Chains A and B, each alone.
Chain A
Amino acid sequence: MRYSGFRVIKEALTGHKGWKPVWRDPEPKDHYDIIVIGGGGHGLATAHYLSKVYGQRNVAVVEKGWIGGGNVGRNTTIVRSNYMLDGNEPFYEFSMKLWEGLEQDLNYNAMMSQRGIINLFHTDGQRDAYIRRGNAMILNGADAELLDAEHVRKEHPYLNFDDARFPIKGGLVQRRGGTARHDAVAWGFARSADSHGVDIIQNCEVTGLRIENGKCLGIETSKGFIGANKVGCAVAGNSGRVMGMAGMRLPIESHVLQAFVSEGLKPVLPSVITYGAGHFYVSQSDKGGLVFGGDIDGYNTYAQRGNLPVVEDVCEGGVSLMPMIGRARLLRMWGGVMDMSMDGSPIIDRTPVEGLYFNGGWCYGGFKATPASGHCFAHLLAKDEPHPTATAYRLDRFRTGRMIDEKGVGNQPNLH
């Protein structure tokens, strides 16, 4: 069923009787060409591109709970392609271009809003690093602008320019950056994949991977064994658990990132803003809530909840940067479990097990990557070779010393 304004009006006039389920609720078949483990953003996007771009129709997405219930449903919805390193920037710019056409591609309004993102800097050293990054963005075909303090003040007069412990010296802006309605992204990909014949199987937990003579034959699940020629794992946050079923240890730790939303407010923030002197980033949703976050809690965990010190740290940064939000109320806090990798960059690669493919290590940057991650993982699953923009995301890069370390903090996941 095609969505459109006319359809909405027609249905309104006929009692909304015509709306069909956005996706089917099928029972799993015995065997699929490709099974994607994980009905989150990346898994559903993979299914969408597999079926729509790579012509794979005999595909299933298997989800332990309800689709979109992982990090795609609990992030701060920021979309950007402002990376510095060659391993990353082409991939994220590819993702940005996919975002820009996503609604039309999916016929679903994920409310991709290119309202811009600004990364503020407060020291000359930060400025130099941002100039290097901005240049890398432009050299990779993305957009970037450097603003001085006066210009930042013109665009964001409510920031703390008068009483700041760390004065704002300027900012790196990406105008094409912005936000998207996170749940709708998952639903849009699911709806499209479903419409192309992909079976989306919810409430089906993977309990094991059937591997014989180094080849993956399928998955054991709470709904029984499901055979497959290829199995792709896209369960960031739980990668350790699932790949553990294949006896693999990963260059990844699971950590919790908290996120926060305020009560609804009339428009106050024009764009996404990240603070360079504290752990704080924020945007305002279309409903009016300030959606914000900061650092991960910093200890290994699989629990989707955090603790007070980080809540306080984030709010300290927020009020220091923009004192006018002080009287807005924090409405809800929640946590998402992140695959924190050893260099802060993701992995999209084959594994030592034939027929088993891995997509993970997204740290807290996975949402913006959703379309490209799906596209590149679909490419890898369909063609058995990496997509040109994702060649650096290899599993063995730590052994060879080809890390992609934007922050330069090395093999300590909780610092990325």
Chain B
Amino acid sequence: MTQNNRLSGGQIDRNTTVNFRFDNRSYTAHPGDTLASALLANDVRLIGRSFKYHRPRGLLTAGSEEPNGIVELRAGNRQEPNTRATTIEMFDGLEAQSQNCWPSLKFDALGVNDLFSNFLSAGFYYKTFMWPAAFWEKVYEPIIRRAAGLGSLSMEADPDEYDKGFRHCDLLIIGAGPSGLMAALTAGRAGADVILADEDFRFGGRLNSESFSVDDQSASDWAAQAVAELSSMPNVRLMTRTTVIGAFDHGIYGAVERTGDHVATLPAGKPRQILWRIYTKKALLCAGATERPIAFENNDRPGIMMASALRTYANRFAVTASQRVAIFTNNDDGHRTAADLHAKGVHICAVVDVREDAPVNYDYEVLRGAQVVNTKGRLGLTFVEVALPDGSTRTLECGALGVSGGWNPNVHLTCHQRGRPVWNDDLAAFVPGSNLPVGLTVAGAANGVMSTQGALQSGMDGAVEAMELSGKLPDLPEAEDAAVSQKPFWYVEGCKRAWLDQQNDVTVKDVKLSYQEGFRSVEHLKRYTTLGMATDQGKTSNISALAIMAEVAGKSIPETGTTIFRPPYTPVPISTFAGRMKGQEFHPTRLTPSHYWAKERGAVFVEVGNWLRAQWFPLPSETHWRESVDREVRQTRASVGVCDCTTLGKIDVQGTDAAAFLNRVYANGFAKLAVGKTRYGLMLREDGMAMDDGTAARLAEDHFVVTTTTANAVSVYRHMEFVRQCLFPDMDVQLISTTESWAQYAVAGPNSRKLLQKIVDPEFDISNEAFPFMGCGNITVCGGLRARLFRISFSGELAFEIAVPSRYGDALMRRLMTEGEEFGVVPYGTEALGVMRIEKGHAAGNELNGTTTALNLGMGKMVSKKKDSIGSILSEREALVEPDVLRMVGIKPVSSEEKITAGGHLMNSTGPVDAAHDQGYVTSAAYSPILNSSIGLGFLKDGANRMGEKMRLVSPLTDLTVEVEIVSAHFVDPEGDRLRA
């Protein structure tokens, strides 16, 4: 198909021809085209279907405000629904499909909705589909959901990369039209650090769409020259294809740069889009204005477009929507379009101007005081019916109608911090109000300055004001300076189905019905009719609807209300906000010092926070994880096992007040802890709940090393800094995390000492006498490597934790394995660790769940009343010390074949099973290969006094009821002989 709607001129590269496909038909276009201009060039007017009535839809605009010309761009896992054809930059091999139509765009089955539109009036669904109740999910809703929606997702993962970036500048200029360019030139020449961003792939804004000249050159040439000068300035950064999407607090702007949307395929490693966070001292909004339509009967047919869009297509893209064009306007701007199209040889059927005093023109007919009252053409405009002042009607045969109802300043970003625009009677439009985001000023058409000369001046002034410039300013170029001449005109009287929101099919009638039913505030209007909720966010429809609401209410527009806009300025792919934080990179991955060794051993890993920890180490012969875990437990308790516990938080606490400080943050006392000793510590939140537990080892009078649980390492450090800086600012104590500095391994089991004696350097005596339970100290290993040794035990066995600098952790683990061969040493993972701590009755994450007190945990006596410690006072509240509060207990099945389920609830052995009779719940459960039974820990009302009681463990969720016995939580070695051995 040839581009038979091409005109002369334009800013396209005619020397290159590219191919693209729309609905599986091939067409040609030129670089510099958008998909929209290329379709028009090829005489394609029908592009999609509307949301509700599935009415035929063509292009309305030439910019990002487009409500109608939306398509599915690209194919396969790169398919992009709802993409505005007006902003798709043409490239060779571009592929697009029409959407929201079936079986085909020309014949859309759901077009039938249009026939019943009268029954599908605004909000009709709130009044029906209620009987029978069950039918909603089964019948009504599925039908509605299938009919609704617009484009479709591929349902495949987005394959592209996205980046996030951060830029800082003195002045961010948003929009590179006349005012933006002039502002950038002014600030740039003055040496200011400027970022100039525009959503278009070509700077210039309206200058690229107009036929007039700036100084002695064409407007677009002047723009190109300005851009050339700006790009030569090192202090000015130009960001094309970059939409500033939002104005956030304190001068931070969000911007989306489309670095890869204009190419067929991305080079490896290059992002499709970049989300920029731009930190600004000042920002200048030069976003221009958007032309608004006039509502009249059947004003939604393909071919009916904004007059300024027709002008853009003709002047910038050298395209006309049709060879026969009519104009409907209430202002002089509409006449400009007629003149430009006429100059390019397009036949102007007539300019229909609602003003009796409209300017005449001798090249074509001007129908003064006339209105368009109806149109014809099922899939595209064919005839326009015009009512003349004398009451007669004229029918114009044309393929395109340019509509101009005046211009609305693009105030969107001024509203992003809830600022409200104010009404301007001369423009009959909202202009930026006074409560703008701090640091933002507005220039050019966005500020209601509608002439080119005015925009240039206003841009310069804006830059001068924002940057507080003085001295010589650049000379302003000469440009058109016409005053706005228009007669506010929103819709044609007596029309029924005159579209306001063309995508969501909201008509004048719907607005009137909304008022009639009491939905009279603007927000009610929007929510009831869905006006302005479509992908264009009502950029072309909100104000007209408001004007009509005002008329019905008999109020002025400002009395009726304003409508504000929310970010983003135009829709942004969710991937762009995610950047690279997805898939495996969603969160950083933290590896333990023995990770690579464990991988070689074929360990199975588990995520613990951001850490990867070895869960168990299967042998080739083992087919089920339980075999591995049982073996690791048995062998550790029988001989010796090694576990990487580096992930436990380690905090270095130093200072003359270190001990006093720990006395405050721990419920139990530390002042009297001897040097060379370690003590278990329970940390409470100020509300009295257990926050974390760990050990504190005193390496010197003024030096402790504190451990935290893996999960709470960060929050405990933060808490300790709070206590240090905010509560006791004069305590001499210094904190720093050493979690990653040391590779720390638990060496547990009766042979642990023997194993360690093989690597600990001989000058260090670690016999039970010299290095008893809870001892700690600095030592060296393997011939002089500095190390720390702690005699602490989570497993309940004779055990140590040994720490060396992380870089040697891998080597130390390998050494422990070889030296341990004679004892049959096993590495054990988090599962075995968990089993052994349950066997020993140690509380862990499942028990320290943020709602349990020391009393609940069986550690009530640890909370010292003799000193001031965080949480001790509030832990005494009446409900927390009632006689039957939950107490931690051990639970085992009466018959050892039965299984304990964590998350199960405890019920009395007889009586009803329901919430009212709940006695407690199971927090942790495991199979103990030592007891050959499933065991568990849990919380039970008055549990301390119910040892030996038989109860029912119920888990209706997993369909389970087990008879259990309440026992002490210390299943193994309750006296602790082993760990003191």
Are B130 and A109 neighbours in the complex by a CB distance under 8 Å?
Answer: yes
Q: Give the most central of B275, B523, B687, B874: most A CB within 10 Å.
A: B687
Q: Which residues of B914-959 have CB atoms within 8 Å of chain A's CB atoms?
A: 914-915, 918, 921-925, 954-958
> Is B770 part of the binding interface, using a Cβ–Cβ cutoff of 8 Å?
no
Q: Which residues of A contact B620 (CB under 8 A)?
A: none
Are A410 and B523 in touch, CB under 8 angstroms?
A: no
Q: Which residues of A contact B114 (CB under 8 A)?
A: none
Per-residue contact bits, chain B 879-906, to A (CB 8 Å; 1 contact, 0 not) = 1100000000000000000000111110
Tell whether A66 pairs with B956 under 8 Å between CB atoms, given A103-B130, A410-B687.
no
Residues on B with C-beta less than 8 A from A305 are 416-418, 566
Closest-CB distance, A63 to chain B (whole angstroms): 11
Nearest to A268 among chain B residues (CB) is B153
Minimum Cβ distance to chain A for residue B262 (Å): 16
Cβ < 8 Å to B, chain A residues 150-166 = 158, 160, 163-166
Most buried by A among B128, B149, B275, B530: B149
| A3 & B574 in contact (Cβ 8 Å cutoff) | no
Expressed in whole angstroms, the Cα–Cα distance for A286 and B79 within the complex equals 22
Taking the complex as formed, is A287 at the interface, i.e. its CB lies under 8 A from any CB of chain B?
yes
Chain A nearest CB from B161 CB (Å) reads: 11
Residue in B82, B136, B154 whose CB lies within 8 Å of A324: B154
B566 touches A131 (CB 8 A): no
Say yes or no: is A54 at the interface (Cβ < 8 Å to chain B): no
Determine which of B249, B513, B923 lies in contact with A19 in the assembled complex, contact meaning CB atoms within 8 Å. B513
Segment among B2-10, B119-127, B331-339, B440-448 that sits at the interface with chain A = B119-127
A262 touches B (CB below 8 Å): yes
User: Shortest distance in angstroms between B489's beta carbon and chain A's nearest beta carbon?
Assistant: 25
Q: Note all chain A residues with C-beta closer than 8 A to B157.
A: 160, 163, 323-324, 326
Chain B residues, CB < 8 A from A123: 606-608
Min CB distance B484 to A, Å, is 31
Q: Which size bracket describes the interface of A in this complex?
A: 35 or more
- Could you give, for residues 547-588 of chain B, a 1 whenever the CB lies within 8 Å of some chain A CB and a 0 otherwise? 000000000000000000011100111111111011111110
At the interface, yes or no: A222 with Cβ under 8 Å from chain B? no
Q: Is B425 an interface residue (CB 8 A)?
A: no
Residues of chain A lying within 8 A (CB to CB) of residue B587: 165-166
Known: A140-B915, A325-B153. A267 touches B146 (CB 8 A): yes
Within 8 A of B (CB), among A77-99: 86, 89-90
Residues of A within 8 A of B586 (CB): 164-166, 277-278, 316-317, 320
Whether A327 contacts B518 in the complex (CB less than 8 A), given A73-B527, A131-B958, comes out as no
What is the bound-complex CA distance between A166 and B606, given in angstroms? 9
Quick one: CB contact mask for A305-316 with B, threshold 8 Å, 1 for yes? 101100110111
CB closest residue in chain B, given A324: B155
Neighbouring A residues of B727 by C-beta, 8 Å: none
A109-B252 contact, Cβ under 8 Å, with A266-B149, A410-B687 = no
Q: Is A29 an interface residue (CB 8 A)?
A: no
- A156 CB to closest chain B CB (Å) equals 11
Q: Decide: B573 and A327 in contact? CB cutoff 8 A.
A: yes
Query: Is A144 an interface residue, CB under 8 A from the partner?
Result: yes
Contacts of A128 in B (CB 8 A): 846, 902-903, 923-925
Q: How far is the CB of A352 from chain B (nearest CB, A)?
A: 19
Is B459 engaged at the interface, CB distance under 8 Å to the other chain?
A: no
The answer to whether residues A163 and B584 also contact, given A135-B904, A263-B150 and a CB cut-off of 8 A, is yes
**Which residue of the partner chain A has the closest CB to B905?**
A135
Closest CB of chain A to B467's CB: distance in Å?
25
From A187, A316, A325, A411, contact of B579 by CB (8 A): A316
A109 to chain B, nearest CB (A): 5
> Which chain B residues lie closer than 8 Å to A7 at the CB level?
127-128
- Taken together as a complex, chains A and B put the C-alpha atoms of A5 and B956 apart, in Å, by 42
Which residues on the A side are within 8 Å of B567 (C-beta)? 332-333
Task: Known A165-B584, A165-B589; judge A187-B126 contact (CB<8 A).
Answer: yes
Nearest CB of chain A from residue B564's CB, rounded to whole Å: 11
B328 CB–A CB distance under 8 Å:
no
Q: Residue among B145, B686, B879 with the most chain A CB within 10 A? A: B145
**Residue B913, interface by CB 8 Å:** yes
Bound CA span A4–B521, Å: 25
Interface-centre pick from B157, B509, B583, B913 (highest chain A CB count, 10 A) = B157
Among the stretches A8-16, A230-238, A357-365, the one at the interface with B is A8-16
The residue in chain A whose Cβ has the minimal distance to the Cβ of B581 is: A316
**Cα distance A164–B254 when bound, in Å?**
28
Interface residue B201 (Cβ < 8 Å from any Cβ of A): no
B685 within 8 A of A: yes
Query: Would you call B574 and A315 a contact (CB within 8 A)?
Result: yes
Whether the Cβ atoms of B275 and A312 lie closer than 8 Å is yes
A134 partner, pick from B79, B151, B537, B903, beta carbons under 8 A: B903
Nearest Cβ distance between residue A370 and chain B, in whole angstroms? 16
Tell whether A408 is near chain B: CB-to-CB under 8 Å.
yes
- The answer to whether A107 and B578 touch across the interface, beta carbons within 8 angstroms, is no
A264 with B82: CB separation less than 8 A: yes
Which B residues lie within 8 Å of A158 (CB)? 155
**Which of A165, A167, A410 lies in contact with B850, CB distance below 8 A?**
A410
* Bound: A9/B129 CA distance, A: 13
Residues of A within 8 A of B151 (CB): 263-266
Specify which of B82, B606, B921 is in contact with A132 (CB 8 Å cutoff): B921
Kindly state the separation between the CA atoms of A239 and B571 in the bound complex, as whole angstroms: 34
Which of B51, B516, B880 sits near A401, CB closer than 8 Å?
Answer: B880
Contact indicator B577/A316 (Cβ below 8 Å): yes
| B118 / chain A contacts, CB cutoff of 8 Å | 12-13
Q: How far is the CA of A38 from the CA of B584 in the complex (A)?
A: 46
In angstroms, Cα B574 to Cα A319, docked, is: 7
Complex contacts, A113 vs chain B, CB 8 Å: 136-137, 141
Tell whether, in the assembled complex, residue A22 and residue B523 are in contact, meaning their CB atoms are under 8 Å apart. Answer: no
Smallest beta-carbon distance A371→chain B, Å:
15
Contact with B along A108-121 (1 / 0, CB 8 A): 11111111000000
Chain A residue contacts of B145, Cβ below 8 A = 267, 284, 286, 288
B600 interface hit (Cβ, 8 Å): no
A405/B573 in contact, CB under 8 A: no
Contacting pair B903 A135 (CB below 8 A): yes
Q: A123-B607, A125-B846, A319-B575 are in contact. Are A307 and B248 (CB under 8 A)?
A: yes
Residue from A3, A101, A405 within 8 A of B127 (CB atoms): A3
Report B-chain residues with C-beta under 8 Å of the C-beta of A100: 133
**Is B342 an interface residue, CB under 8 A from the partner?**
no
Choose from B121, B125, B137 the contact partner of A109 (Cβ within 8 Å): B125
Which residues 818-853 in B have Cβ within 8 Å of A in the complex?
A: 845-846, 849-851
- Residues of B near A130 (CB, < 8 A) are 903
Residue of B nearest to A13 (CB): B118
> Complex Cα distance A407/B689, Å?
13
Complex Cα–Cα for A388 and B970 (A): 40
Q: Of A131, A184, A278, A400, which is within 8 A of B878 by CB?
A: A400
The answer for the CA separation of A17 and B558 in the assembled complex, in Å, is 28
Interchain nearest-CB distance for A262 vs B (Å):
7
Q: Across the interface, do A326 and B80 meet the contact criterion of CB distance under 8 Å?
A: no
Contacts of B846 in A (CB 8 A): 125, 128-129
Known A-B contacts: A101-B133, A165-B586, A328-B573. Give 18 more (CB < 8 A): A22-B517, A66-B521, A68-B527, A103-B136, A104-B130, A127-B903, A128-B924, A134-B903, A135-B956, A139-B956, A164-B583, A264-B51, A266-B146, A316-B578, A324-B157, A329-B572, A330-B577, A403-B851
A-B contacts, 11 listed (Cβ < 8 Å): A3-B127, A103-B133, A131-B957, A132-B903, A139-B954, A315-B576, A329-B572, A331-B537, A331-B571, A333-B567, A401-B874
Q: What is A's interface to B at a CB cutoff of 8 Å?
A: 3-5, 7-9, 11-13, 16, 19-23, 25, 65-66, 68-69, 73, 86, 89-90, 100-101, 103-104, 107-115, 122-123, 125, 127-140, 144-146, 158, 160, 163-167, 181, 183-184, 187-188, 202, 262-268, 277-278, 284, 286-288, 303-305, 307-308, 311-312, 314-320, 323-334, 399-403, 405, 407-411
A-B interface, 9 closest residue pairs, ranked by CB to CB distance from nearest? A408-B850, A131-B903, A288-B149, A326-B158, A401-B877, A21-B518, A315-B577, A323-B157, A326-B575
